[in-house]
Amino acid sequence: MFTDNERYQLLRALEQNPNLSQRQLAIELGYSLGKLNYCLRAFKEKGWVKAENFRNSQNKSAYFYQLTPAGVTEKARVTRRFLQRKLEEYEQIEQEIEALKQEVAQQQL
């Protein structure tokens, strides 16, 4: 359904900016408004996010998105997997760079 990267980015954005509108979140994440709405509904169904209306807002459709304890747990789980994957990518890039350096050094002989 969602990649770890998508889950991580959205959960992180909601944690850091819980009062952003769906439109603002969609722009920040590079999602269409429809995709973001779909993601938020799915996250609410999973119990990772709850949405509450701003009580003092003139805009009655303004919501505050808050991670639930289950959402915080999921974010921690996804963050660990995301970090592990990025570390593996980093190690692979380091190996590629070293191989390229050796190739260049051999060509200069």
Q: Rounded mean pLDDT of 8-21?
A: 90
Is the confidence at residue 104, as pLDDT, over 90? yes
Q: Do residues 40 and 29 touch, judged by C-beta distance below 8 A?
A: no
pLDDT digit string, tens, across residues 30-76:
999 999 999 999 999 999 999 887 655 565 556 788 899 999 999 99
According to the model, what pLDDT value does residue 2 have?
76
Neighbouring CB atoms inside 10 A of 34's CB total: 10
According to the model, what pLDDT value does residue 18 have?
83
Please provide the average confidence, as pLDDT, over all residues in the chain.
89
The CATH number covering residue 45 comes to: 1.10.10.10
Residue type, 36: L
pTM of structure: 0.74
Is the confidence at residue 109, as pLDDT, over 80? no
The candidate with the shortest Cα–Cα distance to 50, out of 73, 26, 36, 68, is 68
Name 13's Cβ contacts closer than 8 Å, sequence gap at least 6. 20, 25, 28, 29
**What is the domain count for the chain?**
1
| Domain extent at residue 40 | 4-107
According to the model, what pLDDT value does residue 83 have?
94
Secondary structure of residue 52 in the 3-state scheme: strand
